[in-house]
Amino acid sequence: MYDFFFYLPRYKRLVDNIFPEDPEDGLVKANMEKLTFYALSAPEKLDRIGAYLSERLSRDVARHRYGYVCIAMEALDQLLMACHCQSINLFVESFLKMVRKLLESDKPNLQILGTNSFVKFANIEEDTPSYHRSYDFFVSRFSEMCHSNYEDPDIRTKIRMAGIKGLQGVVRKTVNDELQANIWDPQHMDKIVPSLLFNLQSGERTESRSPSPLQASEKEKESPAELTERCFRELLGRAAYGNIKNAVSPVLIFLHFSLMFQSQHSHLVIQQLLGHLDANSKNSAKVRAGIVEVLLEAAAIAASGSVGPTVLEVFNTLLRQLRLSVDYELTGSYDGSTNIGTKIIKAHEERQLQEAVIRTIGSFANTLPTYQRSEVMLFIMGKIPVPGLKCIVSISRPQGTRMIQIMLLKSLVQVTTGFQNTNMLTALPDTFLDPLLSFSLINHSEVRLLVLQILLSLIDRHDNRPKFSKIRIISDISVLKLKVDKCSRQDNLFMKKHGQHLCRHIYLGCKEPNSDQQHYETLYALLGLLSVELANEEVVVDLIRLALALQDLALSTDEGLTIYNRCAVHALSAAYLNLICQLTTVPAFCQHIHEVIEVRQKEGPYLLPEGVFLEHPKLPPSLEKVESGVLFLQSKIAEVLGGSGYNTDRLATPYVPQYTDEDRLSKRKSIGETISLQVEVESRNSPEKEERTPAEEITFETLKSAIVDSAGMEEQERERRRQVVEKFQKAPFEEIAAHCGARATMLQNKLNQIFEITIRPPPSPSGTISSGYGQSQSRSVPIYEMKFPDLCVY
């Protein structure tokens, strides 16, 4: 053994001599001095010394001889402190390899030992540069140690502090060395900065676990939070102008997502913010807007972790704040009074708050899945005051109802933006569509425009809406690159159920005298989306009839529309017919539409979008004399489309919308505007009648029935049939059975009466005969023997 020892190279014998037989005795200092002197005298051997020490350390770690590991690291530290020759680079590679070996260990003491050695190395100023050294592993490993979750809190604190010191050492070693990898790169800063901020945030929990002053030195008493603060100050202090952005960006990201560390409890943070907002409901608008802005960020973060009633709770609180803000704006004070001494609020600040609330509603809704967003849509719709019904929200002044309608519809616009659905029946249920369309009949232009925008967002499923943003005549619609899919069975059912309803509201929307260019453009977009998203052959026919009915509406002088409105409706009809004729790809249909458009371009440009929707359009003084050449002919369109298989009878029937009580309720018009009573008089067709039919008594029911428009009987009959079909589709089975049973009973009674009349012989004009039992019995007389009155004989 001893003979073999003397055959070893001298540097290996010197290295072996520093290790005692018992590791508890520690490093042999005399032999360490000899090794150091040898390394200084023969610097070319320094790399071999480092490699041999690294080999011994790896072997001792594998054999769990941790005492010798500590001795090896102590020897390495002393050699690093003593040697500054040009060969130090090769020795550093072996040193870093041993530090990495310790950091990869699962023993906390070895991790801390390796970190302390690295920190000592980081404080050494090297004389020669290094071109190939990398610290990526140390950045990742030290950042991981900063997030240690070791079971023992004292050891966990030591590991985290070691990680912080290690990151501090990496920064010191590389920040001023241009040859090293740039520590300011985002890939490094995204690990270093969040690790430091994590310990800064959790410092209060670990501080209570720090050792007592009697057991620790002043340096050891430093908490992770204090060490982190010092390290972070040093990091930002070393940042240059071009690097500060990479250091600050992770800070902002950390603050933005700090609520995500425990996502299962994130909804509690939202509840606290909502409670804080309610507690400050009478504070200034700026304070409330600040809380809402925090909710704007926090709601998006916690949306994925929100469960239970939290979603609707957020919207309920925000809608309540919206209502309060409207009330404050109208009254000018927080208590509804204008007494002296009352805190007066500023209307523009309340408007800013309202916009912030609406943005927050939209931001939160955009993070929800489709089914939850549908629930939110129904929830908001239930909060909007419906015309003619008692308002759910209590607004102190009448104009407050209109303001809250606008605010809540704006919220719905935010919620429905980007809404993706595959089934229109579930996206637009009756409970949502019916009240929504009722708002399209209100005499307020902004409300109607918001309703149309909501419909566009819900119907547009292939991002075709931007392609219809401007109303114009397009000679070739292929440039639009429309995405058209075949209608599904659900789409056909939706249009069969609601198609006439939508057409009626489009028609009535064109009759509004306070509509402007934006309204007509939105109506054109709605017609276009219906054609490419939901149109089958039957829907195409109805939309063409609607466009021709709009042309008739523009020709009429009975609706009280201005010249601009009538020209705009003409332009809308022309633009849509130009679109739908190219979608149907029927050459004769396209030819007729294009011929009329060419005539209008020459003789009546004010009947086309390019001539109407201008800043200063040139309109005629009247539209009393409109030549037939500039009009689209329903008979011609029915003829050319009938040859392509479309329903000719339906095309030839003019579209007449059915007016309902909903229209008059929404319009709020006076009953005395258009009443024309027709009282039924006695009939003159039967002068022999002894009693004359008395004149009809004029009651409330008579006045009500007089308002109903008698036109469009065919459309009314079709609507009645649709309602019957809808009733049998939706009504409960018991109700349908009872209805059919009553109809069957009535039919049976009628049949019995008919059978009784046909089977029983008719009374004879010759009188009766007596039976043998003293009863009179009718005698059947041949018809040629009967005596008829003279007036009945021809």
Categorize the per-residue pLDDT at 772 as very low, low, confident or very high, splitting at 50, 70 and 90: very low
Task: List C-alpha distances in Å: 342 to 267, 339, 350.
Answer: 37, 6, 17
Greatest mean pLDDT among 325-334, 461-470, 522-531, 651-660:
522-531
Other CB atoms closer than 10 Å to residue 325's CB: what's the count? 26
Task: List C-alpha distances in Å: 113 to 134, 177, 353.
Answer: 21, 25, 56
- CA–CA distance, 665 with 434 (Å, rounded to integer): 14
> What does the radius of gyration of the chain's CA atoms come to, in whole angstroms?
45
- CA–CA distance, 745 with 533 (Å, rounded to integer): 46
Strands 768-770 and 776-778 come out as antiparallel
CB-based burial label for 675 (10 Å; 0-12, 13-18, 19+): exposed
| Per-residue model confidence as pLDDT tens digits over 392-413 | 444 445 677 889 999 999 999 9
Residues 6+ apart with CB under 8 A from 99: 114, 117, 118, 121, 138
Give bridge partners of residue 777 from the DSSP assignment.
769
Phi and psi (nearest 5°) for 344? -85, 135
Average pLDDT for residues 368-394, to the nearest whole number? 75
Q: Residue 746 pLDDT more than 80?
A: no
Residue 128: per-residue pLDDT? 61
- CA–CA distance, 309 with 268 (Å, rounded to integer): 12
Q: Cβ(554)–Cβ(562) under 8 Å?
A: no
Name which of 159-168, 620-629, 746-755 the model is least confident about.
746-755
Residue 776: per-residue pLDDT? 45
Q: Cβ(407)–Cβ(415) under 8 Å?
A: no
| Per-residue model confidence as pLDDT tens digits over 419-445 | 888 888 888 898 999 999 989 888 889
Q: What percent of the chain has pLDDT over 70?
A: 74
Categorize the per-residue pLDDT at 310 as very low, low, confident or very high, splitting at 50, 70 and 90: low
- CA–CA distance, 221 with 664 (Å, rounded to integer): 80
What does the CA dihedral 123, 125, 129, 130 come to, rounded to 10 degrees? -20
Q: Residue 506 pLDDT more than 90?
A: yes
What does the CA dihedral 781, 787, 788, 793 come to, rounded to 10 degrees? 110
Q: Residue 494 pLDDT more than 80?
A: yes
Mean pLDDT, rounded, of the chain: 78
Residues 6+ apart with CB under 8 A from 54: 94, 95, 97, 98, 101
| Per-residue model confidence as pLDDT tens digits over 634-691 | 999 999 998 888 988 888 888 988 766 555 444 443 323 333 323 333 333 333 333 4
Instruction: Take residue 41 and report the two structure tokens written for it.
Output: 């005298």
Q: Residue 707 pLDDT more than 90?
A: no
Instruction: Take residue 688 and report the two structure tokens written for it.
Output: 């022999």
Name which of 666-680, 689-703, 779-793 the model is least confident about.
666-680
Buried b (16+ CB within 10 A) or exposed e, 342-356: eeebeeebbeebbeb
Residues 6+ apart with CB under 8 A from 448: 439, 440, 442, 509, 512, 515, 519
DSSP 211: P
The residue among 199 and 760 whose pLDDT is bigger is: 199
- CA–CA distance, 469 with 482 (Å, rounded to integer): 13
Name which of 124-133, 401-410, 464-473, 477-486 the model is least confident about.
124-133
Residue 43: per-residue pLDDT? 73
End-to-end CA distance of the chain: 152
Q: What percent of the chain has pLDDT over 90?
A: 28
Average pLDDT for residues 173-199, to the nearest whole number? 78
Average pLDDT for residues 76-99, to the nearest whole number? 74
Q: Residue 175 pLDDT more than 90?
A: no
Categorize the per-residue pLDDT at 390 as very low, low, confident or very high, splitting at 50, 70 and 90: very low
Name which of 375-384, 394-403, 771-780 the model is least confident about.
771-780
The residue among 634 and 753 whose pLDDT is bigger is: 634
Other CB atoms closer than 10 Å to residue 144's CB: what's the count? 14
Residue for token pair 């290790």 = 19
Spacing of C-alpha 783 from chain mean position: 82
| Per-residue model confidence as pLDDT tens digits over 229-276 | 888 888 888 877 777 777 777 876 676 555 454 455 566 677 778 888
Q: What sign for the dihedral angle of Cα 26, 31, 34, 39?
A: negative
Categorize the per-residue pLDDT at 174 as very low, low, confident or very high, splitting at 50, 70 and 90: confident
The residue among 217 and 155 whose pLDDT is bigger is: 155
Residue 343: per-residue pLDDT? 59
Helix axes 244-256, 186-201, angle to 10 degrees: 50
Total residue length of the chain: 794
Residue 673: per-residue pLDDT? 33
Helix axes 186-201, 224-237, angle to 10 degrees: 150
Domain segments of the chain as ranges: 1-128, 255-336+343-420, 425-663
Residues 6+ apart with CB under 8 A from 210: 157, 216, 221, 223
Residue 210: per-residue pLDDT? 43
Residue 714: per-residue pLDDT? 65
Instruction: Take residue 58 and report the two structure tokens written for it.
Output: 């790896």
- CA–CA distance, 326 with 343 (Å, rounded to integer): 16
- Coil, helix or strand at residue 168: helix
- CA–CA distance, 117 with 79 (Å, rounded to integer): 12
pTM above 0.85? no
The residue among 34 and 532 whose pLDDT is bigger is: 532
Categorize the per-residue pLDDT at 753 as very low, low, confident or very high, splitting at 50, 70 and 90: confident
| Per-residue model confidence as pLDDT tens digits over 95-149 | 888 888 888 888 899 899 989 988 888 887 766 666 567 788 888 999 999 988 8
The identity of residue 5, as a single letter, is F
- CA–CA distance, 538 with 55 (Å, rounded to integer): 85
